[in-house]
Amino acid sequence: MSTKYAALNPTPRVLMGPGPSNVPPAVYRAMGLPLVGHLDPQFIALMEEVKQMLRDVMLTKNAMTFPVSGTGSAGMEFCCVNLIEPGDEALICINGVFGTRMTDVAQRCGALVTNVKAPWGRIIEPDDVAATLKTMKAPKLVGIVHAETSTGAWQPMEEISRIVHEHGALLLMDCVTSLGGCPVRVDDWQVDAAYSGTQKCLSCPPGLAPVTLGPRALEKATKRKTKVASWYFDVNLLASYWGQDRVYHHTAPVTMNYALREALRLVLEEGLENRWARHERNHRALKAGLEAIGITIASQEGHQLWPLNSATIPAGADDAAVRKALLQRYSLEIGGGLGELKGKTWRIGLMGESSREENVMLFLSGLGAVLNELGCKTGTAAALAAAREVYSR
């Protein structure tokens, strides 16, 4: 029987946008392994390995550390529905798209939300958090984005963590874009709950959301006065599946957990310090190359993410036309700006497998050629020389 549908054959891309990143061959191979049941002893053993590997990558001893079945936003919703009860006061920090999204999710959980805001591209200042908490009656949770994917701002955590705990609140951290690409120290920073995604610096396909709940967060979730609004994300039920009891809860995505296990193995094999250093080196080379042709990083100096670089679009450059040309001619993807930065910035990802010297050089070469052809004269040779200078040190 004939069909009008051809076999799927997507064009390979160099993924240098805000996610997903390119996937290592070993992770693809893991995804091709035979399927087993989600309660098979082999899968149960794999679950224990994934939990421990996530603890090692998140630098935590939290027992309740596991991958939620869903993307990074599922991790956000998991944390909010478990830690927020209707009427709870929550302080959510906004300096980009994902603080705005966290506010929306917290309000849907019934929280009385107060916001601390900073201009897009800048960090949240600890003094602003402290001042706002003093105006609240009984804040239960403070949510903040560690690595704001929409702006490239990298939020310091230690001082804000101290302030949050002085007010008796829980600290919730979004580390979707930072985990595996720059330091994430859950225990050292006394983060009570955190969530991430698999498709960025872990270089695993999207589909799972690593989460971790510390003792204070877990106590809040288990001693609630009201039932968790989401059956699917209720940690009290999930704990019986991911814990020792192995009580059936849902059919976990077995193949995605194969992929995550292999991706985490590669992270730990490289070593966290080495992996962070690789991301920093490639960020510095990219930044030097861009500055050589007059393009600046839009996020706050001293707080610029390594895995996600928000570059200011030069005057006269057509945002969409440049991105389209890079995709068509070089099979290279970068992202456009979001929200207040739409049309003003390009988001250039150097995440996980995509954070490579050859990708930095390809991008700088391709960007220079495209800008020149569109009438924005740039010194491509100068950009490449500046990046090589960083790599030669």
Handedness of CA 300, 305, 306, 312 (dihedral sign): negative
pLDDT of 243 higher than 80: no
Hey, how many other C-beta atoms are within 10 angstroms of the C-beta on 117?
A: 15
What confidence score (pLDDT) does residue 242 get? 83
What confidence score (pLDDT) does residue 54 get? 98
Q: Indicate the CATH number of 25-268 among 3.40.640.10, 1.10.510.10, 3.30.70.20, 2.60.120.260.
A: 3.40.640.10
Closest CA to 93 of 49, 124, 58: 124
pLDDT greater at residue 251 or residue 354? 354
The 10s digit of each residue's pLDDT in 306-334 is 999 999 999 989 999 999 999 999 999 99
pLDDT-derived band at 244 (thresholds 50, 70, 90) equals: confident
pLDDT-derived band at 379 (thresholds 50, 70, 90) equals: confident
The distance between the two most distant Cα atoms of the chain, rounded to a whole number of Å, is 71
Residues 48, 56: Cα–Cα separation, whole Å: 13
What confidence score (pLDDT) does residue 97 get? 97
Please say whether the beta carbons of 197 and 209 come within 8 A: yes
Closest CA to 201 of 30, 55, 57: 57
One-letter amino acid at 229 equals A
The 10s digit of each residue's pLDDT in 348-363 is 999 999 999 999 999 9
Please say whether the beta carbons of 145 and 155 come within 8 A: yes
The 10s digit of each residue's pLDDT in 260-305 is 999 999 999 999 999 999 999 999 999 999 999 999 999 999 999 9
Closest CA to 144 of 168, 118, 167: 118
Domain boundaries, the chain: 25-268, 272-392
The 10s digit of each residue's pLDDT in 6-16 is 999 999 999 99
pLDDT-derived band at 224 (thresholds 50, 70, 90) equals: very high
Q: Say yes or no: domain 272-392 is CATH 3.90.1150.10.
A: yes
The 10s digit of each residue's pLDDT in 253-272 is 999 999 999 999 999 999 99
The 10s digit of each residue's pLDDT in 103-145 is 999 999 999 999 999 999 999 999 999 999 999 999 999 999 9
CA angle 226, 232, 236 (to 5 degrees): 50
**CA separation, residue 278 to residues 13, 64, 131, 271, 367 (Å):** 21, 30, 38, 11, 22
Residues 227, 209: Cα–Cα separation, whole Å: 22
pLDDT-derived band at 386 (thresholds 50, 70, 90) equals: very high
Residues 60, 52: Cα–Cα separation, whole Å: 10
